[in-house]
Structures are given as structure tokens and as C-alpha cells.
Amino acid sequence: MAKPRSGEKRTKIFRTALRLFAQNGYSKTTIKDIAAESNVSFGTVFTYFENKEELFHLCVTEPIEEFRHHLLETSGILEYFSIDKLKEMINEHVAYFLEKEDYLRVIQYVIGQPERFSKMMEELDLFSDEFMSFVQNVVKTGMEKGVLPESNPEEVGYGYLAFLMGARLTFTDYPGVQLTNALEKQAYRLFGIGI
């Protein structure tokens, strides 16, 4: 079997670290454990990451770019707003958040210790502000076009992000289709969409 290329090895170490940080937290996760579960030597981890602190920081911050791209790529909804487009956006967001259990658990770990992880909190806050602004613009556009009922866009934004985070963290396994559909319907209600 061929050896994995460098990028693949880094990705494997990163994903293993993310999973272990989600399961055990920062303090109880060791580089030794990450290396062993990644099937690489202890020293190989340091080829890609300076230390455990940097690896944890990257486990929190690197996925933000993926989130930003995925969650905000639906900005075309603002130009061609319709209930169907909004439902499609919500369905994509729900599915995406349901897939990201380990990452969301790490984020909750950081949020629970804001003084300890103040730099990461700043980056998470920045993304949260971007996402809230996006959702508020969606709500304002929907109201302007007469498609959504009058509501407070800021409240919808906060409620929607809290709902998405909580929906994934509530379950111990991956929700099935029936539960996913139920979550989508609840998210529609946050925007004032009848089912």
C-alpha cells in the first residue's frame, strides 16, 4: 500500500485531533494519543503542527473558513428570494450542522472557557457576527418582498444560530431522515414560514 502524501497525512492528523479534542477536551488530549490514532509517529505530528496549542487553535479556526463558504454561499437567495429558496437554504444549513458534530463540540468547549481561549473566541465571534448579519439580511429581504411576516431580524438570527448549534449537540448519533425533516420544519418556523 502506498504511503499517504503529506497533505493527506496532515489531514488525517487534523481530523483525528479534532475528534479527540471533541471527545476529551484540550487538557485530556495528548499529542501521543493523536499520533497513535493517526497511525503516525509522535514526531510526525510536529512536522505539521508546532505544538498541541497550535493544533487545537487550528482545529477551532480552520473549519471556520469551510463554514463561512458553505453557510454564506447561499447569499444568492437575497437576489432571487422565494420561500422555496429559503427552505432550500435552511435544509442545507440543517444538514451541514448535523454533519459537524465534532467541530461543534470543540466550539462549545471553547465557548465554555472564554477567558482561557480568548483569541479563538474573537475569531468565533467574528464568524458569528457575519452569520447573524447574513441571516438578518435574509429576513429583511423576505419582509421587503412581502414573503416573510414582520419580525425582528436580529432575534431571528440569534434564534436560528442557537437552533442550528443545539440541534446537532442534542443527539448522540446522527439523526435519521424523519428527525432531520422535523428539525427543518422547526427552522422554517423561526423565519415565520408556514409548513
Query: Which tens digits make up the pLDDT trace of 27-78?
Result: 999 999 999 999 999 999 999 999 999 999 999 999 988 888 877 677 777 7
- Inform me whether the pLDDT recorded for 98 exceeds 90: no
Q: Tell me the domains of the chain and their CATH numbers.
A: 1-49 (1.10.10.60), 60-190 (1.10.357.10)
Run of H or E including 78: none
- Inform me whether the pLDDT recorded for 173 exceeds 90: no
- Inform me whether the pLDDT recorded for 103 exceeds 80: yes
Of the candidates 43, 48, 3, 2, the residue with the CA atom closest to the CA atom of residue 15: 48
Q: Which three cell numbers stand for residue 133?
A: 448579519
Residue 76, pLDDT score: 72
Can you list the alpha helix ranges (DSSP code H) found in the chain? 6-28, 31-38, 42-48, 52-72, 83-99, 101-111, 118-144, 153-169, 177-190
Residue 73, pLDDT score: 74
Mean per-residue pLDDT, 170-189: 82
Contact between 106 and 59 (Cβ < 8 Å): yes
Residue 1, pLDDT score: 40
Give the pLDDT confidence of 3-29 residue by residue, as tens digits.
455 789 999 999 999 999 999 999 999
Residue 174, pLDDT score: 65
Residue 141, pLDDT score: 94
pTM of the predicted protein model: 0.85
Q: Which three cell numbers stand for residue 39?
A: 497511525
Residue 175, pLDDT score: 62
Q: What average pLDDT is seen over the chain?
A: 90
